[in-house]
Amino acid sequence: MGLSTHILDTSRGKPAPNVAISLHREEVNCSWEKVGEGTTDSDGRFRGFFTEDPAAFSNGTYKIRFEVGQYYEQLKIDTLYPYVEIVFNISDASQHYHIPLLLNPFGYSTYRGS
């Protein structure tokens, strides 16, 4: 069914718009292949993974890389993290996976959303 993400900047209590993100799939040789990229919308969301080829969404290990350093640089806020990478397993590609990022300049958390 697909993959989506959302970034909420908890220090500001607002979504994080215009954050560059990329999606990578782990290959058999433990390298990573980029399979998608985009930018979060005004609500901090990105739903564009696998929209052109939904059949490409398959079981495996993936990571989303969030370029949060650039986001905080634009806000003129110091941050500890130049980027955040979240690695996760897709075990049933017939389901939808939502990977949110709760972010602040000096910490972050994530979970499987709906």
Whether the Cβ atoms of residue 73 and residue 67 lie closer than 8 Å to each other: no
pLDDT tens digits for range 1-43: 689 999 999 999 999 999 999 999 999 889 999 999 999 999 9
Domain covering 2-110 in this structure, CATH number:
2.60.40.180
pLDDT tens digits for range 33-66: 999 999 999 999 999 887 777 778 899 999 999 9
Query: Which residues on adjacent β-strands are paired with residue 32?
Result: 26
Domain boundaries, the chain: 2-110
3-state DSSP: the chain helix, strand, coil percent, rounded to 5? 10, 50, 45
**How many residues comprise the chain?**
114
Q: What is the CB-side half-sphere exposure of residue 70 using CA atoms within 13 A?
A: 10
Whether the Cβ atoms of residue 21 and residue 48 lie closer than 8 Å to each other: no
4 closest CA partner among 44, 31, 34: 44
93 closest CA partner among 54, 46, 48: 54
